[in-house]
Structure 1
Amino acid sequence: MHINKCRVLSDPPDQPLLPIEEAAASHREILKRHIGTLTNNLENAETVYKKQDENTWELKRKMEKRREELDRECEEIKSFFEVEHDKIDKDLLMEENDAEEKLIENERQISYHRFRLSSLLSQTEEKCLQTDEDLLTGIERIHNSYGNRETPAVFSCELEKEIFTLPPHYLGLHEMIGTFQVELTLDPETAHPDLIMSSDRKSVIYRRPDGLPNPQAPTSSPAVLSSEEVDAGRHFWAVEIIGAGECFLGVCKESFVINTPMSPSANNGYWQYQLLTRTCGVVPTGQRKIGIFLDYELGEISFYNLNKWSYMYGIADKFTEKLIPYFSIASSSESLTVGIIRV
Structure 2
Amino acid sequence: MAFAASLAKLQAEASCPICLNFLSGPVTIACGHNFCPFCIHQRWEGLQDTFPCPVCLHHCPDRSLKRNTQLRYMTEIIKQIPTSESQREMQEEMPLCGKHHEVLTLFCEKSLELLCPQCMGSLDPQDQPLIPIEEAAASQRGMLKRYIGVLTKHLKNAVKVYRCQGANILAVKRKMSKWRNKLDYECNDLKYSLEIEYNEFDNDLLVEENNVEEKLIENGRQISYHMFRLSNRLSEIEEKCLQTDEDLLTGIESIHNSYENIESPAIFSYKLKKEIFTLPPHYLGLHKMICTFQADLTLDPETAHPDLLISISGKQASYWKPDCILNPQALTSYPAVLSSEGFDAGRHFWAVTIGVTGEFSLGVCKESFPINTLISPSPSNGCWTHTFGSFSILKEIGVFLDYELGEVSFYDLKTGSLLYRITATFTGKLMPYFSIVSSESLTISIIRV
TM-score (norm. length: structure 2): 0.39
> Is 1:233 aligned to residue 358 of structure 2?
no
Q: Which residue, out of 173, 177, 189, partners 1:162?
A: 177
Alpha-carbon deviations, 1:96-135, whole Å to 9, x = none?
4679xxxxxxxxxxxxxxxxxxxxxxxxxxxxxxxxxxxx
- Which 5+ residue runs of structure 1 have no aligned equivalent? 1-90, 100-157, 278-283
> Is 1:179 aligned to residue 292 of structure 2?
yes
Deviation at 1:320, TM superposition (A): 1.0
Query: What is the CA–CA distance in structure 2 between the aligned matches of 1:236 and 1:167, rounded to whole Å?
Result: 23
The letter for the 1-side match of 2:347 is: R
Deviation at 1:190, TM superposition (A): 0.5
Deviation at 1:199, TM superposition (A): 1.0
Query: What is the CA–CA distance in structure 1 between the aligned matches of 2:417 and 2:326, rounded to whole Å?
Result: 34
Secondary structure of the structure 2 residue equivalent to 1:178: helix
The letter for the 2-side match of 1:325 is: P
2:419 equivalent in structure 1? 312
Query: What is the CA–CA distance in structure 2 between the aligned matches of 1:303 and 1:273, rounded to whole Å?
Result: 8
2:19 equivalent in structure 1? none
Query: What is the CA–CA distance in structure 2 between the aligned matches of 1:198 and 1:222, rounded to whole Å?
Result: 15
1:289 equivalent in structure 2? 396
The letter for the 2-side match of 1:162 is: S
Q: Which residue, out of 348, 355, 369, partners 1:242?
A: 355
The letter for the 2-side match of 1:317 is: A
- Among all aligned residue pairs of Structure 1 and Structure 2, give the percentage whose two residues are the same amino acid: 56
Deviation at 1:285, TM superposition (A): 1.8
The letter for the 1-side match of 2:408 is: I
- Larger-gyration structure (1/2): 2
Query: What is the CA–CA distance in structure 2 between the aligned matches of 1:304 and 1:167, rounded to whole Å?
Result: 16
Change (3 A) 1:98 1:307: closer
Secondary structure of the structure 2 residue equivalent to 1:205: strand
Alpha-carbon deviations, 1:169-218, whole Å to 9, x = none?
37700000000001000111101110001110001011013187966425
Query: What is the CA–CA distance in structure 1 between the aligned matches of 2:312 and 2:393, rounded to whole Å?
Result: 23
1:205 equivalent in structure 2? 318
Query: What is the CA–CA distance in structure 2 between the aligned matches of 1:311 and 1:258, rounded to whole Å?
Result: 27
> Is 1:339 aligned to residue 445 of structure 2?
yes
Alpha-carbon deviations, 1:155-177, whole Å to 9, x = none?
xxx96883233244377000000
TM-score (norm. length: structure 1): 0.50
Change (3 A) 1:211 1:276: farther
Higher relative contact order (CA 8 A, sep 6+): 1
Change (3 A) 1:174 1:213: farther
Q: Is the 8 A contact 1:191 1:224 kept in 2?
A: yes
Query: What is the CA–CA distance in structure 1 between the aligned matches of 2:335 and 2:171, rounded to whole Å?
Result: 47
Secondary structure of the structure 2 residue equivalent to 1:238: strand
Q: Is the 8 A contact 1:219 1:262 kept in 2?
A: no
Q: CA-atom RMSD, angstroms?
A: 2.8
Q: Give the stretch that moved more between structures: 179-188 or 208-217.
A: 208-217
5 Å-filtered alignment, 1:121-160, equals none
Secondary structure of the structure 1 residue equivalent to 2:302: helix
Query: What is the CA–CA distance in structure 1 between the aligned matches of 2:367 and 2:448, rounded to whole Å?
Result: 25
The letter for the 2-side match of 1:318 is: T
Query: What is the CA–CA distance in structure 2 between the aligned matches of 1:177 and 1:98, rounded to whole Å?
Result: 26
The letter for the 2-side match of 1:233 is: G
- Which 5+ residue runs of structure 2 have no aligned equivalent? 1-163, 188-283
Secondary structure of the structure 2 residue equivalent to 1:210: coil
Deviation at 1:276, TM superposition (A): 2.4
Deviation at 1:334, TM superposition (A): 1.1
Change (3 A) 1:92 1:315: farther
Change (3 A) 1:213 1:92: farther
Q: Which residue, out of 326, 335, 339, partners 2:433?
A: 326
The letter for the 2-side match of 1:291 is: G
Alpha-carbon deviations, 1:35-55, whole Å to 9, x = none?
xxxxxxxxxxxxxxxxxxxxx
